[in-house]
Structure 1
Amino acid sequence: MKRLFAALVLTLLPAFAMAATIGDDGLHKEPWMRDTFKDLNEDLAEANEMGKRLVVMVEQRGCIYCKQMHEEVFSQPEIADYISENFFVVQVNLHGDTEMTDFDGETLSEKQATRKWGLLFTPSILFLPEEVEEGATAQSAAVALMPGAFGPDTTLDMFTWVNEKRYELDSDEDFQRYHARRIQERQSEAAE
């Protein structure tokens, strides 16, 4: 019985070690989130230097959908590892007062920035390109927006679709078609 308990603890320990914590601002904090000065031009430059894609993740205190994403989606090792390896994630508080600088050079609070970007729901995940045109905002420059909480497969497919730059491909496979194809592929693999 003791061996079974010890094995169980050793099996679950990595999951608990990688679990999100709650910050002083009431937001979930993942090990792969970056603590930056929230100057998006600097964040983009740093992401590019690291060979990663910049993501702006907008959340708020008490958001049940944010909690769901952190507990049920981002906690999965395959998803956490993929994000950590390929993305530079900056968290923004929908109602926050922390000063930040948008790509267009405007300095404003997090809550002013999220209003400027027209974001109403949390979580909202903005995926940015490697280069942003002068005068663009985070919202206008984004190559994709993930508005709300989604399941593990949809989330991983969105991060993969962006990372592989499938939005640039000259084809009829937009994200919805890509995701539908991936669902069919997973079902076929499971049936084998």
Structure 2
Amino acid sequence: MLKSLGLSCILFALLLVSARAAEIGDDGLHKEDWFSVTFRDVAEDVAAATAEGKRLAIIFEQRGCIYCREMHEKILSDPEVRDYIKANYMVVQYNMFGDEEVTDTDGEALTEKSAARKWGYIFTPTIVFLPERLDKAIPVGKAAVATMPGAFGKLTFLNMFRWVRDKGYEGDEHFQVYHARIVNALRAAGKLQE
């Protein structure tokens, strides 16, 4: 009995270590160790991501955002989600109300908060997906191929990253139709937990 209790404690401790929550930075934002730290020059970041065979995703968050916390604790900590994003995306975090300098694709220098206003992002978290090549005359808000405002469940979240990676935005299948098709296929196969 004591032996099985000790084994259970060890397994529980290992589970806690493997499900490590993101650290909180000085700016109050959750920090994933696989997020990219850059100079926030969007054109340079797109080029760097493309050179690595990845796509650029910018994520806007804010201090105290309960939906951001849930995204980190429940979605980004999931190995399937985390591993897919790490393999296919370069993710750069912006503070919705931050003062760090950002360079827009049109060359304008802004703060994070003025970039959020210029590009029209008002919710956190908001994930902005950029194309592989940019027209430098078009600011990020118009150049984005997709935007995911708010927090969603694992499958919707992951499917958005897959849809963008597969360039679904170039085809006729809207994201909602793509997502519904996958959900229905999983449901039919008995692989969807409701």
The TM-score normalised by the length of structure 1 is 0.94
Task: For residue 35 of structure 1, give the secondary structure of its aligned residue in structure 2.
Answer: coil
**Match in the other structure for 1:4:** 8
**Match in the other structure for 1:176:** 176
Equivalent pairs, count:
188
Contact residue 73 and residue 79 of structure 1 kept, 8 A: yes
User: Any unmatched runs of 5+ in structure 2?
Assistant: none
Q: Distance in 2 between matches of 1:7 and 1:114?
A: 43
Contact residue 121 and residue 147 of structure 1 kept, 8 A: yes
Among candidates 147, 150, 175, match of residue 148 of structure 1 = 150
**Match in the other structure for 1:15:** 19
**Match in the other structure for 2:34:** 32
- How is 1:90-101 mapped onto 2 (pairs within 5 angstroms)? 90-101=92-103
Task: For residue 93 of structure 2, give the secondary structure of its aligned residue in structure 1.
Answer: strand
Q: Does 1:52 align with 2:54?
A: yes
Contact residue 59 and residue 94 of structure 1 kept, 8 A: yes
Among candidates 144, 158, 161, match of residue 159 of structure 1 = 161
Task: For residue 56 of structure 2, give the secondary structure of its aligned residue in structure 1.
Answer: strand
Q: Distance in 2 between matches of 1:146 and 1:137?
A: 18
TM-superposed CA distance for 1:116, in Å, is 0.3
**Match in the other structure for 1:69:** 71
Contact residue 56 and residue 89 of structure 1 kept, 8 A: yes
Contact residue 32 and residue 83 of structure 1 kept, 8 A: no
User: Any unmatched runs of 5+ in structure 1?
Assistant: none
Task: For residue 34 of structure 1, give the secondary structure of its aligned residue in structure 2.
Answer: coil
Q: Distance in 1 between matches of 2:34 and 2:174?
A: 27
TM-superposed CA distance for 1:65, in Å, is 1.0
- The CA RMSD measured in Å over matched residues stands at 1.3
TM-superposed CA distance for 1:11, in Å, is 3.4
TM-superposed CA distance for 1:191, in Å, is 6.0
Identity %: 52
- How is 1:117-156 mapped onto 2 (pairs within 5 angstroms)? 117-156=119-158
**Match in the other structure for 2:112:** 110
Task: For residue 190 of structure 2, give the secondary structure of its aligned residue in structure 1.
Answer: helix
Contact residue 40 and residue 101 of structure 1 kept, 8 A: yes
Q: Distance in 1 between matches of 2:132 and 2:191?
A: 38
Q: Distance in 1 between matches of 2:46 and 2:100?
A: 19
